[in-house]
Amino acid sequence: MATTYLDYVDEKSSKFWEITINGSEFTVRYGKIGTDGRLNTKSFTSEEEAQKEADKLIKSKTKKGYAAPSGGAAIDNPEPIQMSWDEARAKYASLGNPQPQTFGSIVGSAVVYLGSVTYDGYGIKDLHPDHPDEGSLIIVDGDLTFTNDTVSWNHGSEAECHVLLVTGNVTANGMNLSEVGSIDIEGNLTAKIIAGSYGDNGGSLSVVGHTKAEFIVATTYFMFSFKGGVIADYIIGDSTYATDWTDDFMEIYENLERFDEDLIDGEALYVSDLVDRVVNGQPIFVD
């Protein structure tokens, strides 16, 4: 997956144009800087054709005066900088959404990575170098790639309030999300499995672009928002508002007998064990 981000700023205009190539398709995101912009996805018969057409569009945009920010390409794995809550909210429109607005105002300041990040850790909050007690406001102004088998907020306590904002795309293996943590992704999300649970304490995931996963597990009032559509082999959930975004899901409590017995505790499903199995290519259903 490759992303090219260009912008055009003069006395009259302040706009951006971004293209993300993912296999045999690409997604263009464009609009006024500081907004989520609009999305347009196009599919092709091969990866080569998608790349060729993307290169044409990039060339066309650069001829019209679009360029990488500050005249250069985004830096991979940059050192984070500090930014106040007011500065971050003014620069990044998504922080005005309900969950990040609430949590971010509690945390009060942000760490910002001005470029794409590849992260090999387990705890998402560890992207914040100082681990503040009240929580973390983390902004990746670019793409974010998780290389560990599974990532989670890795909470210290339910009193912590965490926000992760990614302006580009997110790629992961397993995402095991819960409790007090808001993740807002302005690009696309690709993962083997995305699991959200115990959201009644404030957990949420919002994706502006499209989402692709083998499994999505939506339980216990976790708040999902998939604005760009979802492609998933299995959607497993319960009847809370965790699954308000789809009518096509496997109801957990009505289908417990379909899961391997080691994943079941009474009338509950071990979500963490399920995530581990999917990531490691192990079966979760009874033959």
Half-sphere exposure of 286 (CA within 13 A, CB side): 10
Mean pLDDT of 168-181: 89
**Confidence band (pLDDT; 50, 70, 90) for 1?**
low
The pLDDT of 205-228, averaged and rounded, is: 92
Q: Would you place residue 53 in the very low, low, confident or very high pLDDT band (cuts 50, 70, 90)?
A: very high
Mean pLDDT value across residues 255-281:
89
pLDDT value at residue 155: 61
DSSP codes of every residue in 42-85? EE-SSHHHHHHHHHHHHHHHHHTT-B-GGGSPPPSSPPPEEEEH
Q: Which of 18-22, 128-132, 142-146 has the highest mean pLDDT?
A: 142-146
| For the chain, percent of residues with pLDDT exceeding 90 | 37
Comparing 4-8, 47-51, 275-279, the range with the smallest average pLDDT is: 4-8
Amino acid code (one letter) for 38 = R
Which of 59-73, 105-119, 198-212 has the least mean pLDDT? 59-73
Residue type present at position 147: T
pLDDT for residue 71: 39
Please tell me the predicted confidence (pLDDT) of residue 73: 41
Report DSSP state, residue 257. G
Average pLDDT for the chain: 85
β pairing state of 161-166 and 181-185? parallel
Ordered by start, the domain boundaries in the chain are: 2-71, 81-279
Judge whether residue 209 has pLDDT over 50: yes
Least confident of 74-83, 130-139, 198-207: 74-83
3-state secondary structure of 184: strand
Task: Read off the pLDDT band of 76 (50, 70, 90).
Answer: low
pLDDT at 216 (0 to 100) = 96
Looking at the domain that runs over 2-71, which CATH code has it been given? 2.20.140.10
- Sign, CA torsion 169/167/215/146: positive
pTM for the whole thing? 0.72
| Helices of type H across the chain | 47-63, 85-91, 98-107, 271-279
Closest C-alpha among 272, 250, 255 to residue 263: 272
How far, in Å, are 71, 72, 115, 116 from residue 62 at the CA level?
11, 13, 20, 21
Contact 133/106 with Cβ under 8 angstroms? no
281 conformational bin, left if phi > 0, alpha if psi -120 to 50, beta if neither: left
Lowest mean pLDDT among 144-158, 165-179, 233-247: 144-158
What CA–CA distances, in Å, run from 85 to 48, 100, 124, 136, 207? 43, 11, 19, 11, 22
pLDDT at residue number 72: 41
Q: Closest Cα to residue 28, out of 16, 36, 15, 40?
A: 40
- Classify the C-alpha dihedral 94-97-100-103 as positive or negative: positive
